[in-house]
Structure 1
Amino acid sequence: MEHVEVAVIGGGQSGLAAAHTLRREGLQPVVLEASEQAAGSWPRYYDSLTLFSPAGYSSLPGMAFDGDPDRYPHRDEVVDYLRRYADRLDADIRTRTRVREIRSDGSAFALALEGGGRLSARAVVAASGTFGRPHRPALPGLEDFSGAVVHAAGYRVPEPFAGQGVVVVGAGNSAVQIAAELAAHARVTLATRHPVRFARQQTLGRDLHWWLNRTGIDTLPIGRFLRTPPTQLVIDDGRYRAAVAAGAPDRQPLFTGADGSKVTWADGSTEEVDTILLATGYRPDLGYLAPLGALDVRGHPLHREGVSTTHAGLAYVGLEWQRSLSSNSLRGVGRDAVRAARHLAVHLRRH
C-alpha cells in the first residue's frame, strides 16, 4: 500500500485551492480526481454558462484570473483557468482516480480506489463538490409522468428541446438562466414553490460582489447558524426579470400532480408537457465517507466550518454554506482552504 501525507479528494476548484494552501503549510498533498482532467465539474456545465461574479472576484489563491477584471467569464474560460492553475501547482495530481471508500486505519485513513488500488493517508481533505450527486426532489405525480425527466446536470444546449413543452423546476440562477434560454426554442414554464427573487447585478455602477466584499457580508461566518439555507437570489442585469415578466418563460407555482404526459397546475388546469427539467441543485458528493462514519443520516458531513467533528485528520473544502455564503464558489473556496490546511498542519505536527 502506498503511503501519502494528505489525500485531497477532488481536483476541481476546491481541491486545487486545498492543494495550494497545503503546500504553503509545508505539506505534501496528493490530489485524486475521478475525471480525466483537473477542472472539476466545469467542463460538464451547460454551454452558455457565464459566471455571476466578475473575473476580479473569481480567483483561487496564488493566481489571478487574467484579462479584464470587470468581465464575467464564460464556462470555457473557467475551465482554461483551472487547467493552468493545476499545471502551476507543485503537487501530485492524479486524474482518472476515483475514491470508492475511506475507512479508519488506526492513526491513518485507508482509501480504496476503483480498480482495486489502495492508499494510506495521514490526513484527508474531502473536496469532491456536489455535481456528482444531483438532487431529485419528490415532486407530486412525478413518478406518473410519462415524458422525459432530466436534471440540469444533463443539460447542455436548448436545440434538442425545440418545439417542446418544457417545465423547468427551480428558482435559482441556473433554473432561470436555462428557462430563459429554452424559451427562445420551446414553450417553457418555470415552476417554483415561491416567487423568484432577483438581486441587481450592479448598483451605483458597482457589481454586487464589490458591495459584498466592501461590507464584509461575503466573509461573515454564518454557515454554522443556518439550519436551512436561505432562498437563493437570482443575480440579474435586468434581462431575466424582464423575460419572466414577458412570459418567456412563464412562471407558475409548482404543479400539483402529473399523469401521463400532462401536469396539473395549482388552479386545476392541465397542460401537455414533453420534458420536466429539474434545476433543483445538488447535495454533497461524499458517499465514499460513509464507511468512516463521518456523515449524518442524510449523507451530509458532520463538521464545523469545514473541520470534521468525527475525525481530527479530516477536513472539507467547497461545501455550500460551509462557513460563508461564498464557501462553494471560486471566490470563496480559497479562504476555507486556508483554514482547512492550517488545521491539518497543526494536527499532523501533533501526531
Structure 2
Amino acid sequence: MTDVVVIGGGQAGLAAGYYLRRAKADFVILDAQAEPGGAWRHAWPSLRLFSPAQYSSLPGRMMPAPADGGYPTAADTVAYLTDYEHRYDLPIHRPVTVQAVRRSDDHLLVETDRGTWQARTVISATGTWQSPYVPHYPGMRDFQGEQLHTVNYQGPEPFAGKRVVIVGGANSGAQILAEVSTVADTTWVTLRPPRLLPDDLDGRALFALATNRLQGDTADLGDIVAVPPVRDARDRGVLKAEPMFSRITPEGVAWPDGSSLACDTIIWCTGFRPALRHLAPLKLGSNIAVDGTRAIGEPRLHLLGYGDWTGPASATLIGASRTARETVLRLGLAPRT
C-alpha cells in the first residue's frame, strides 16, 4: 500500500512530488511518457512562456534565465523539468499508462499497463494536452483543405505561400498567428475581440487576476501577453481579428451575412479539456465537483494543475506549485521548513 500515487509527471506532478518528498511521504509518480518534460516536450519550438524565468519556476529551484534574456522557450522548459526531477530524485516510473482508478474498500486501485498500485490517496495531474478541443461547425467534414489543432502545429514552414485561417483568441492563437503570418496570408478569427495586456505586463498579471477573481474582484486587463513575436505582428498590422464564422465550406469558411473566404488550412487554437478518462470508473460525472483540489464525490482523490477549476492559474508553473503545496498540506503531510 502506497500513501500517494501521483498520475502524471509534468509540472503539476513534479510540484506535488517536491512537497511529498519534503513531507517524507511514501509515494510514486506514474508518467505515460518515455522521457521527462510533460506536455512541453510536444509544444511547437517557438512557443514562449508568458512570464520571465524567475516567475515560472517550481518550488525549490529557480528556472535559469534563457541565453537571450527573454521569455523561456518550450525547450528551455523541458530542460528545466528534466533537471528538476533528477535533482530531487523523484520516484517516477515511466512509461506507465494509467488505465483506470477504482474504489476498493479503504483505498484506491490505480490500474496501469505495468500492474496495479494500491493507494490511500491519488493525485491526478494528467493535464490537458492529451484532450485537444475542436468545436463543431457545419461543413467541417466537407472542407477540402487541411485542418489541424495546436497539438499538431510544429512551425510555420508547411504553410508558406498558403491561405491560413487561425481560430482562437487566446495566447496560442496570437503566437501562432504571429509566426504563420510571416510566411502565409493569414486571417485571424475569434469569438470575441482579442485583448492584449499592456506591453509592460506579462503572465504574472494573469496569475494575479485569476487569484483575485476568487475574492470577487472583477478587474480584467486582457488575456493575451504581448510577447515579442506578438508585438511584432501587431506592428505589422496583422493582429486584427474577424468575428467567428458560422460554417465551413468545401473551399473555406463563411459568415452569417453571406460573405466567405477561401483558404487552404484551418488551424484550431481552441484549447483543451482535462484528460480525465482514467477516472471514469469512479463515476464522478463529466464536471467533477471539487473543494479546492479534493474531489467532493471521492475525498481520496485530488485533481492538480487543470486550470482555475482546481486552483488559480494552476495550469501554469507557478500556479501548479502553489496548489500542490496546498494539496499536500491538506493531506496532513505538511512540508517541513
Same fold (TM over 0.5): yes
> Does the CA-based 8 Å contact 2:52-2:72 persist in structure 1?
yes
Assess, with a 3 A threshold, how the Cα gap between structure 1 residues 291 and 63 changes in structure 2: closer, same or farther: same
> Does the CA-based 8 Å contact 2:107-2:120 persist in structure 1?
yes
Aligned-pair distance for 1:184?
1.1
What RMSD over aligned residues (CA atoms) do the two structures have, in Å? Answer: 2.6
Question: 1:114 aligns to what?
Answer: 113
Question: 1:161 aligns to what?
Answer: 159
Q: Distance in 2 between matches of 1:313 and 1:25?
A: 18
Letter in 1 for 2:325: V
Structure 2 regions of 5+ residues with no counterpart?
none
Of the structure 1 ranges 135-144 and 15-24, higher mean CA displacement relative to structure 2 is found in 135-144
Q: Distance in 1 between matches of 2:47 and 2:283?
A: 36
Aligned-pair distance for 1:266?
4.4
User: Which of 51, 62, 65 pairs up with 2:49?
Assistant: 51
2:90 is equivalent to residue 61 of structure 1? no
Letter in 1 for 2:93: R
Residues 41-68 of structure 1: CA deviation (Å, up to 9, x unaligned): 0010011011110111011011111247
SS class of match (2:318): coil
User: Which of 245, 256, 280 pairs up with 1:255?
Assistant: 245
Of the structure 1 ranges 99-108 and 305-314, higher mean CA displacement relative to structure 2 is found in 305-314
2:183 is equivalent to residue 185 of structure 1? yes
After the TM superposition, which residues 77-88 of structure 1 pair with which residues of structure 2 at under 5 Å, given as runs? 77-88=76-87
Question: 1:334 aligns to what?
Answer: 321
User: Which of 318, 342, 345 pairs up with 2:305?
Assistant: 318
Of the structure 1 ranges 61-70 and 247-256, higher mean CA displacement relative to structure 2 is found in 61-70
Aligned-pair distance for 1:26?
2.2
Assess, with a 3 A threshold, how the Cα gap between structure 1 residues 201 and 109 changes in structure 2: closer, same or farther: farther
Q: Distance in 1 between matches of 2:305 and 2:298?
A: 18
Q: Distance in 2 between matches of 1:103 and 1:344?
A: 20
Assess, with a 3 A threshold, how the Cα gap between structure 1 residues 211 and 180 changes in structure 2: closer, same or farther: closer
2:124 is equivalent to residue 126 of structure 1? yes
SS class of match (1:235): coil
Letter in 2 for 1:147: G
Letter in 2 for 1:103: R
Q: Distance in 1 between matches of 2:90 and 2:213?
A: 29
2:89 is equivalent to residue 90 of structure 1? yes
Question: 2:296 aligns to what?
Answer: 309
Q: What's the TM-score, normalizing by structure 2?
A: 0.90
Q: Distance in 2 between matches of 1:41 and 1:30?
A: 20
Question: 2:21 aligns to what?
Answer: 23
Residues 279-327 of structure 1: CA deviation (Å, up to 9, x unaligned): 0000100110010123x2xx33321221111112111210110355422
Of the structure 1 ranges 239-248 and 171-180, higher mean CA displacement relative to structure 2 is found in 239-248
Aligned-pair distance for 1:267?
4.0
Question: 2:272 aligns to what?
Answer: 282
Assess, with a 3 A threshold, how the Cα gap between structure 1 residues 201 and 305 changes in structure 2: closer, same or farther: farther
Would you say how many aligned residue pairs link Structure 1 and Structure 2? Answer: 331
Q: What's the TM-score, normalizing by structure 1?
A: 0.86
Letter in 2 for 1:300: N
Of the structure 1 ranges 81-90 and 239-248, higher mean CA displacement relative to structure 2 is found in 239-248
Q: Distance in 2 between matches of 1:212 and 1:174?
A: 15
Aligned-pair distance for 1:162?
1.3
Q: Distance in 2 between matches of 1:47 and 1:242?
A: 18
Question: 2:73 aligns to what?
Answer: 74
Q: Distance in 1 between matches of 2:241 and 2:209?
A: 31
> Does the CA-based 8 Å contact 1:220-1:324 persist in structure 2?
no
Q: How high is the sequence identity, in percent, across the aligned residues?
A: 34
> Does the CA-based 8 Å contact 2:292-2:310 persist in structure 1?
yes
Aligned-pair distance for 1:95?
1.2
Q: Distance in 1 between matches of 2:205 and 2:247?
A: 42
Assess, with a 3 A threshold, how the Cα gap between structure 1 residues 42 and 237 changes in structure 2: closer, same or farther: closer
Q: Distance in 2 between matches of 1:325 and 1:302?
A: 16
SS class of match (2:135): coil
Q: Distance in 2 between matches of 1:231 and 1:34?
A: 37
SS class of match (1:313): strand
> Does the CA-based 8 Å contact 1:47-1:156 persist in structure 2?
yes
Q: Distance in 2 between matches of 1:40 and 1:242?
A: 29
Assess, with a 3 A threshold, how the Cα gap between structure 1 residues 8 and 232 changes in structure 2: closer, same or farther: farther
Question: 1:291 aligns to what?
Answer: 281
2:256 is equivalent to residue 269 of structure 1? no
User: Which of 156, 176, 182 pairs up with 2:174?
Assistant: 176
Residues 171-197 of structure 1: CA deviation (Å, up to 9, x unaligned): 000001101210111111111111111
Aligned-pair distance for 1:124?
0.4
Q: Distance in 1 between matches of 2:100 and 2:222?
A: 32
User: Which of 138, 146, 149 pairs up with 2:147?
Assistant: 149
Q: Distance in 2 between matches of 1:67 and 1:35?
A: 26
Runs of 4+ in 1 over 4 A off after TM superposition: 209-213, 244-247
User: Which of 33, 38, 48 pairs up with 2:31?
Assistant: 33
Aligned-pair distance for 1:278?
0.5
